[in-house]
């Protein structure tokens, strides 16, 4: 498979082509780290860096994102929002909605969301991680800048990971060309980020819950130190906090240092 060709992506983006400025690299440490360095030099909102290989792909909480050249898509998008940081709660959930919409538009079935930042594939009764979202925010006098990093497996990774991992090829009859996948994701991202910028996560919440893997089911929240809390997952709040029904009442869980697992 060839390196991503920005011209081909532009042609597939149609009227949205002017919103994105795409650079395709053979390799870098992390597309998000590279975009962060470029943002310090003032690159515009809508800049996208896609790389075939990352030598230090990053996940949430210092974890690694592993990918093999051409069997996945790893890219980062720079977006700017006016107003304070507090308006951006729920952004990584909104990005998850955009991703699942895009994959469904490509014909994928069984794609669902896991709070706060994963896209899962529900396949043969099991859940496997298909994609991860890493949102990194910073503020300056112009407002808030988000570096939105997305790693999507086109083929299930061969690496031994702590939780099951899947690939888009398992959700479709025929895997589309990577250009088509990336253009579809950028298109839905532009739509969802526009809605999010105006109305916040509240406007996307219902769609998130509809796609939520474990809505209304028993789950466990595991804290960094290992202690866990069980409850019924009621969904999410307008700011993206997870709502957990426990014997002591409904708790709002923030994404910081906890992990969600099926009970």
Residue ranges in contact with ligand BTN by CB under 6 A? 30-32, 54, 57-60, 63, 65, 74-76, 117-118, 132-134, 149-151
Residue 98 or 152: which CB sits closer to ligand ATP?
152
Residue nearest ligand ATP (C-beta atom): 59
**31 contacts which partner out of ligand ATP, ligand BTN, none, CB within 5 to 8 A by kind?**
ligand BTN
Residue 193 or 253: which CB sits closer to ligand ATP?
253
Q: Which residues lie below 8 Å from residue 214, measured CB to CB, with a gap of 6+?
A: 114, 233, 260, 262
**Terminal-to-terminal C-alpha distance of the chain:** 40
**123 contacts which partner out of ligand BTN, ligand ATP, none, CB within 5 to 8 A by kind?**
none
Residue 20 or 208: which CB sits closer to ligand ATP?
208
Stretch that binds ligand ATP, among 34-42, 65-73, 104-112, 194-202 (CB under 6 A): 65-73
Query: What is the closest distance, in whole angstroms, from the C-beta atom of residue 260 to ligand ATP in the complex?
Result: 5
Query: What is the closest distance, in whole angstroms, from the C-beta atom of residue 59 to ligand ATP in the complex?
Result: 3
**Catalytic residue list contains 19:** no
Classify 162 as helix, strand or coil: coil
User: ∠ at Cα 32 (48, 145), nearest 5°?
Assistant: 75
Residue 63 or 142: which CB sits closer to ligand BTN?
63
What part of residues 86-145 is at the interface with ligand ATP (CB under 6 A)? 117-118, 129, 132
What is the Rg, in whole angstroms, of the alpha carbon atoms belonging to the chain?
A: 18
**150 contacts which partner out of ligand BTN, ligand ATP, none, CB within 5 to 8 A by kind?**
ligand BTN
Burial class (CB within 10 angstroms; exposed 0-12, middle 13-18, buried 19+) of 134: buried
Task: Pick the closest to residue 200 from 45, 102, 89 (CA basis).
Answer: 89
Task: Pick the closest to residue 112 from 125, 95, 129, 124 (CA basis).
Answer: 129
Q: At what angle do helices 91-105 and 178-199 cross, to 10 degrees?
A: 140
Question: Which residue matches tokens 């977006």?
Answer: 79
**Catalytic residue list contains 60:** yes
32 in contact with ligand ATP (CB under 6 A): no
Catalytic member of 12, 19, 58, 60: 60
Query: What is the closest distance, in whole angstroms, from the C-beta atom of residue 11 to ligand ATP in the complex?
Result: 28
**Catalytic residue list contains 211:** no
**58 contacts which partner out of ligand BTN, ligand ATP, none, CB within 5 to 8 A by kind?**
ligand BTN
Q: Give the number of C-alpha atoms closer than 13 A to the C-alpha of residue 150, restricted to the C-beta side.
A: 31
Instruction: State the Cα–Cα distance between residues 66 and 80, nearest whole angstrom.
Output: 27
* Residue 146, token pair as written in the block: 């988000």
Catalytic residues: 60, 129, 261
């Amino acid at each position: 498979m060839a390196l991503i060709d920005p011209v081909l992506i532009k042609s597939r983006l149609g009227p949205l082509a002017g919103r994105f400025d795409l650079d395709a690299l053979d390799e870098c440490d992390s597309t998000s780290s590279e975009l962060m360095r470029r943002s310090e030099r003032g690159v515009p909102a809508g800049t996208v860096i896609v790389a075939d290989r990352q030598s230090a792909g990053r996940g949430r909480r210092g974890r690694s994102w592993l990918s093999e050249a051409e069997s996945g898509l790893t890219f980062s998008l720079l977006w700017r929002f006016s107003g304070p940081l507090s308006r951006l709660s729920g952004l990584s959930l909104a990005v998850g909605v955009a991703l699942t919409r895009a994959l469904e538009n490509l014909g994928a079935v069984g794609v669902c969301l896991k709070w706060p930042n994963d896209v899962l594939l529900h396949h043969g009764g099991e859940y496997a991680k298909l994609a991860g979202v890493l949102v990194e925010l910073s503020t300056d006098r112009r407002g808030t800048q988000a570096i939105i990093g997305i790693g999507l497996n086109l083929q299930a990774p061969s690496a031994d990971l702590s939780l099951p991992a899947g690939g888009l090829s398992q959700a479709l009859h025929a895997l589309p060309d990577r250009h088509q996948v990336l253009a579809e994701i950028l298109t839905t991202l532009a739509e969802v980020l526009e809605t999010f910028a105006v109305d916040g996560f509240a406007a996307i919440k219902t769609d998130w819950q509809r796609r939520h893997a474990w809505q209304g089911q028993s789950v466990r929240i595991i804290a960094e130190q290992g202690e866990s809390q069980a409850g019924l997952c009621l969904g999410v709040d307008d700011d993206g906090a997870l709502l957990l029904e426990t014997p002591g009442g409904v708790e709002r869980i923030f994404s910081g240092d906890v992990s969600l697992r099926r009970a």
